[in-house]
Amino acid sequence: MRLLVSLLVGAVTPQPKSPSGALLHRNLWVTPESDGDNPGRRPMEKAVAYATSALIVGIGVWIFVAGLASSSPVLWSVVAIVAIVVGLVSAFGPI
């Protein structure tokens, strides 16, 4: 019960601001000048996200190639296509 009350009270309290007027949001400083698409997004986070997506697509291609030599290539081809689609959507889809 005490946790619920603290969550409710915390929801109505104003968010802390830095001396420059930027809001503190999940340990990132979101400045008013940041873009509206991905506020506070750092370039290294974007690079890691694209690298992870490329890794997922690469694993899908590897599954596809290895699955062609298996006893059930259709099953492994479908699994590979799912992995490739997930990787492409994570790379180019909306965040």
- Could you read off the pLDDT tens digit of each residue along the chain, which spans 95 residues? 555 455 555 554 555 555 555 555 454 545 545 555 555 557 788 889 899 999 999 999 999 999 999 999 999 999 999 999 999 999 988 75
What integer pLDDT is reported at residue 27 of this predicted model? 47
Q: What is the DSSP string of 42-54?
A: -HHHHHHHHHHHH
Q: What do you get for the CA distance between the two ends of the chain, in Å?
A: 35
How far is it, in rounded angstroms, from Cα 11 to Cα 6? 8
What integer pLDDT is reported at residue 10 of this predicted model? 53
Structural domain boundaries in the chain: 15-92
